Structure 1
Amino acid sequence: MTEQTEILIIGAGPTGLTLANLLGRRGIRTILIEARDKLIDYPRAVGIDDESLRAMQGLGLVDKVLEHTVPDQQIRIVNGAGKIIAGINPTTREFGWPRRNGFVQPLVDQILLEGAQRYDCVEVRLGAKATDVVQDADGVTVTVHSQGKDSSIRAEYLVGCEGGRSFTRQKLGIPFTGETRRQRGLVIDVANDPLGTPHAVFGGDPTRGYATLSLPHGIRRWEFMLLDGEDDDLINSDEFLHQLLRDHVAEPAELDVIRRRVYEHHARLADRFRDGRVLLAGDAAHVMPVVAGQGWNSCIRDALNLGWKLPAVVRGLADDRLLDTYAEERRDHVKAMIDLSVGMSKVVTNRSKVTSAVRDTAAAVIDRLPKLKSYVSGQGFKPMPKYTRGVVVPGKWPESKSVPIEDGVQPGTGTLFPQPHVRTADGEDVLLDDVTGDGWRIFVWNNNPEHFLSADSLAALTALDATLVHAVPATQLRWTAAHATPGVCVVGDASGMLKSWFHARPVSVAIVRPDHVIAAECLAQDLNRTLQKVFGSAYLLPADGTPLPAGSGPGTDSSHFVSSRKRELTS
């Protein structure tokens, strides 16, 4: 007998576990299978950024995750002589959390596993290996081997998240384009950190590049470049490890080594992220060198993108074409992250004394230019998500003599909406997402959103569990909350960040997706028309405002769409 589910996930790494949590929150029947009998228990990724912490916040797990982080971890880049040539120390909180954090991946992955197990609609099966995948127009059937027996699971959609050697990707014959650099690295993790300092060091030594990082709970990581002629088997030689570490600690033989592992610098991208009813995510879709610390975080971004699109399609709120936008949006950003990681890897592993001297000279020049130095220190080189295709409605700035536009102002559409601390009507000081939720949100500055929305639009927003947010200066909060329309969330801009965001742009409305990406922005009077365009781009509603019946493309009346779908969900 074939088991039935709505979504089947293969791979219990960070992508699959995060996606399982997101689907569980939205009530989607999900089975996650993992070939291993337990999660990987040795440290791998060592950096978690502010975007990922915001995702953990949305899952209700951030407090547990923070216990395993080093917040605001600085990076010092040094040359072969040990001189600091650059520093990376971003201290801003655009999204509510520190931008750079050391962390212990196995402990955080375990939190994600326990988080997924909170939901009755989610089942995680360890020791269950996928051995075949067959799809048709209506779904995907996966053969699973577990406890010596084969069984079948039938799902509406399958998401392959099983890492760089993805069975799903190989079964579908999807090319994994890119390179594996000849340069190898050796990772050494030790307990009872012999240094104890909180920062990270990247050593651009042409003799042998290295890095070392302080991790939570007394773990210290070193990564050393392996030279041509040095065999992988050298990792089993204590003498070789002691030789590498002699310039770093006084007594290498006294170190409590918990892991030693050789890795290669992969930079690969799947040619496509979707094949019919099968999607690839995380390392199954892309891998990158470890230097920029963006591999784990890129996995979380994939899960966030799919975590609202799959439920919308499965629940009949959006046409299947919405899933095509996943690859449209994520592939370009992942490619930028791969390029950044490759570039940083070349800086650290470069063996040319001439190139190293040029790098050191350039660093000295940057150090004398405050703006450029601040750009590097603030990690301004990190490519932020900016979607120009998919579920976004880029548009021209409004033509109004009452709304002047400053030179150099960039549209917010396609980027992430900020997350400041705000004040609630009860006087609490909280992060924005904690009061507005993690679904669709309509942020309107100093106006009640309901006044600018039609009955059809309000009905469709209700079906999407969207939140209408009326943002005001904190001084107006008490009065505004007392006169608020039921169902409209009023927040006081205690920090001034929301006002600054709107002040910098000739708009007063931001339509924000569940993954915090701004789908569109406009003036208040244009909200309803702009919302129809957003729904059209998401295959939720066509651009002319007529609602979209489930799965049929541009169609008829929204009240029919909403009520008929609710009957389906409750029957």
Structure 2
Amino acid sequence: MAESWDVLVVGAGPVGLTLSLLLARNRHRVLVVERWPALYPLPRAVGLSNEARRVLNMTGVTEPLEPHVLWDPEGSSLDYVTPEGEILFSETLPAPARAEGPHGGTFNQPDLEAVLEAQVEAEPTIRLLRGHVVTDLQQNDDGVRVCFAPSDENGGPRAGAGELTCTAGFVVGCDGATSTVRSLVGIPMDGDLQFSSDWLVVDLKPTVKREWFPHFGQVLGPPRPVTSVPAGPGRRRFEFMLLPGERKEEMATDETVWRLLAEREVTPADAELVRYAAYSFRACWAQRWRQGRVLVAGDAAHLMPPFLGQGMNSGIRDVATLAWRLDLVLKGIVPPDTLDDYAGERRPHVEQLISTAVMIGNILCMVDPEACAERDRAIRENTGEGPPAMDWRMGTDSLAAGDPHAGRLGRQGLVRVGDREGFFDDVCGMGAHVLLSRDGDPLESLSPPVREAWERLGGVAVHIGPDAPVTDVEGGYAAWFDEWDRDVILLRPDFHVFGTADSLDGADALVRELTERLRLELHDTASTGARPTARD
């Protein structure tokens, strides 16, 4: 296979498939190499955030995915309850990225992967190569030479099989916790928070309708901490912590699983066992996320305990941030060192998530009766408050300096352009920088060099308001501007806020700062190209 690709993605899980589809939106040629010959049929991740839903919407899978997701109602929370059923505290799930609707939902990972893979197979610029494993990566200034071979039943190189080679502009390892890509370029795991806990994860299909308590939550010890959550339409997941002296290989048996489920009033008469496996939950992240033209994302870049349900969602955030930067680099609009900011933006967010998950894990994983009693007393005296709330803000070193709103997730509300009404992403476009103002057309406030740079970036200018080209249907954007006391907001292609300005007069400086952060040179002459604006 002496072919050349823009990007080679290693790993055909949700993160790798999402990245390949985001790149294909801009017609980049992508090869996806996956060591296993077929989709893995058993459940793994179950939580889907609304932010991840917005990213997946860019890949075109919203409609086929919808039947496979069980969306949580507004105001959903994760409850922490005692064995006697007392709710000690509740953790409200992240604010929704849409104006209304669910915070997030649960799903069956094989269903998500099947939907994504079908979309990948329909894309003419993507090739999915299953049953092959990467064996070597050699970089130079122009790209990466990749060697790979057919895989055996254990996922390693098949003995005696011939080796294939290709070249790629960039390689992205989305190949999981034991990442081959990370190992081949010598990126160590770092930031280990010294958290490790063994759990037995059980997935089942209830055959009798019932109310679950907690519906979405953690049952604290003593004696045994248990997680109980929905796992997609018609599915349920239980996670049982292994107690001191219990071994993973001894606990992962049908007999033990049904014994533990019986303690939660689940029996073979009212549920079908789908799968169970024992895992060690860890907390760490990669020391570097980029090594020249090789990058890592998802579990290849970070591992977190599942207590926040953000492992896969963090991987989706990774590739949403990475894809638009790769697009600009591949088009020659910005230099490759712009990719250095990828880790600077994503790692602080991931570190905070992991630290919060570990904090929750330390609360949840107690089994000593005296320690548990002291924990419960402290929570009650603290009026039912648990760990500090997540900030949910990305790293800001590559965003507008000193802006308290930079790094926040942008609002998603209902808008109208002409006779078309829908959510902002669907009506005004996705995957571009957006300069949003309520006071007028922000494009008119840009100087010729800045406007020309904005057009090179493919930026979109949106004037939104009661009498503007884009109508704020429910007033959500007006409320957003009022809350922040700003008149201009600059959004990135990954839906996050780059920065804001208090008037249209500040729009030029805001976009100029964006070009500086992206290492994009300004030209002296004004652009004569077509004016980008909200799509109609």
Q: Same fold (TM over 0.5)?
A: yes
What CA deviation, in whole Å up to 9, does each residue of 1:388-425 have, x standing for no partner?
Answer: 212x11246xxxxxxxxxxxxxx312212111112222
The CA distance in 1 between the partners of 2:281 and 2:250, in whole Å, is 18
Deviation at 1:151, TM superposition (A): 0.9
1:90-105 paired onto structure 2 within 5 Å: 90=93, 93-96=96-99, 97-105=101-109
Partner SS, residue 507 of structure 2: helix
Partner SS, residue 33 of structure 1: strand
| Alignment RMSD | 2.4
Identify which of 497, 501, 509 aligns with 2:476. 497
Equivalent position of 2:400 in the other structure: 393
Equivalent position of 1:404 in the other structure: none
Identify which of 401, 421, 427 aligns with 1:435. 427
Equivalent position of 1:506 in the other structure: 485
Counterpart of 1:49 in structure 2: which amino acid? S
* Contact kept? 2:177, 2:300, Cα under 8 Å: yes
The CA distance in 1 between the partners of 2:194 and 2:135, in whole Å, is 27
Deviation at 1:323, TM superposition (A): 0.3
Equivalent position of 2:88 in the other structure: 85
* Contact kept? 1:210, 1:225, Cα under 8 Å: yes
Indicate how the Cα distance of structure 1 residues 194 and 267 shifts in structure 2: closer, same or farther if over 3 A, else same: farther
Counterpart of 1:520 in structure 2: which amino acid? G
Structure 1 residue 163 corresponds to structure 2 residue 185? no
Deviation at 1:250, TM superposition (A): 5.3
Equivalent position of 2:204 in the other structure: 190
The CA distance in 2 between the partners of 1:302 and 1:287, in whole Å, is 13
Partner SS, residue 110 of structure 1: helix
Deviation at 1:43, TM superposition (A): 1.0
Identify which of 508, 520, 523 aligns with 1:528. 508
In terms of mean alpha carbon deviation, does 308-317 or 433-442 score higher? 433-442
Gap regions ≥5 residues in structure 1: 397-410, 481-489, 548-555, 564-571
Partner SS, residue 128 of structure 2: strand
Partner SS, residue 218 of structure 1: coil
Equivalent position of 2:137 in the other structure: 133
Deviation at 1:301, TM superposition (A): 0.4
The CA distance in 1 between the partners of 2:327 and 2:526, in whole Å, is 19
Equivalent position of 1:62 in the other structure: 62
Deviation at 1:104, TM superposition (A): 1.4
* Contact kept? 1:281, 1:302, Cα under 8 Å: yes
Equivalent position of 1:448 in the other structure: 441
Deviation at 1:74, TM superposition (A): 4.2
The CA distance in 2 between the partners of 1:62 and 1:274, in whole Å, is 30
Indicate how the Cα distance of structure 1 residues 499 and 92 shifts in structure 2: closer, same or farther if over 3 A, else same: same
Could you tell me the TM-score, scaled by structure 1's length? 0.84
Partner SS, residue 213 of structure 1: strand
Deviation at 1:492, TM superposition (A): 1.2
Equivalent position of 1:517 in the other structure: 496
Structure 1 residue 239 corresponds to structure 2 residue 239? no
The CA distance in 1 between the partners of 2:456 and 2:248, in whole Å, is 56
Partner SS, residue 102 of structure 1: strand
The CA distance in 2 between the partners of 1:39 and 1:416, in whole Å, is 32
Runs of 4+ in 1 over 6 A off after TM superposition: none
Partner SS, residue 101 of structure 1: strand
Identify which of 268, 287, 293 aligns with 2:303. 287
Structure 1 residue 176 corresponds to structure 2 residue 189? yes
* Contact kept? 2:97, 2:409, Cα under 8 Å: no
Structure 1 residue 213 corresponds to structure 2 residue 192? no
1:64-463 paired onto structure 2 within 5 Å: 64-72=64-72, 74-90=77-93, 93-96=96-99, 97-146=101-150, 148-177=161-190, 178=192, 181-194=195-208, 196-197=210-211, 199-249=215-265, 251-252=267-268, 255-367=271-383, 381-390=389-398, 392-395=399-402, 411-426=404-419, 428-438=420-430, 439-463=432-456
Could you tell me the TM-score, scaled by structure 2's length? 0.90
Partner SS, residue 514 of structure 1: coil
Indicate how the Cα distance of structure 1 residues 236 and 15 shifts in structure 2: closer, same or farther if over 3 A, else same: closer
* Contact kept? 2:307, 2:360, Cα under 8 Å: yes
* Contact kept? 1:34, 1:128, Cα under 8 Å: yes
* Contact kept? 1:197, 1:214, Cα under 8 Å: no
Counterpart of 1:433 in structure 2: which amino acid? D
* Contact kept? 2:434, 2:491, Cα under 8 Å: yes
* Contact kept? 1:49, 1:98, Cα under 8 Å: no
* Contact kept? 1:235, 1:261, Cα under 8 Å: no
Deviation at 1:253, TM superposition (A): 7.0
Equivalent position of 1:7 in the other structure: 7
Equivalent position of 1:486 in the other structure: none
Deviation at 1:465, TM superposition (A): 2.2
Partner SS, residue 388 of structure 1: coil
Indicate how the Cα distance of structure 1 residues 91 and 532 shifts in structure 2: closer, same or farther if over 3 A, else same: closer
The CA distance in 2 between the partners of 1:250 and 1:453, in whole Å, is 64
Equivalent position of 1:408 in the other structure: none
Indicate how the Cα distance of structure 1 residues 429 and 559 shifts in structure 2: closer, same or farther if over 3 A, else same: closer
Gap regions ≥5 residues in structure 2: 152-160, 531-536
The CA distance in 2 between the partners of 1:101 and 1:17, in whole Å, is 20
What CA deviation, in whole Å up to 9, does each residue of 1:41-86 have, x standing for no partner?
Answer: 2111111111111112222222322322221254332113232222
* Contact kept? 1:413, 1:521, Cα under 8 Å: yes
Deviation at 1:236, TM superposition (A): 4.5
Indicate how the Cα distance of structure 1 residues 196 and 218 shifts in structure 2: closer, same or farther if over 3 A, else same: farther
The CA distance in 2 between the partners of 1:414 and 1:250, in whole Å, is 44
In terms of mean alpha carbon deviation, does 449-458 or 215-224 score higher? 449-458
Indicate how the Cα distance of structure 1 residues 95 and 539 shifts in structure 2: closer, same or farther if over 3 A, else same: farther
What CA deviation, in whole Å up to 9, does each residue of 1:90-126 have, x standing for no partner?
Answer: 4953434522322212211221222222321111111
The CA distance in 1 between the partners of 2:10 and 2:394, in whole Å, is 28
Deviation at 1:537, TM superposition (A): 0.3
In terms of mean alpha carbon deviation, does 88-97 or 17-26 score higher? 88-97
In terms of mean alpha carbon deviation, does 208-217 or 357-366 score higher? 357-366
* Contact kept? 1:337, 1:383, Cα under 8 Å: no
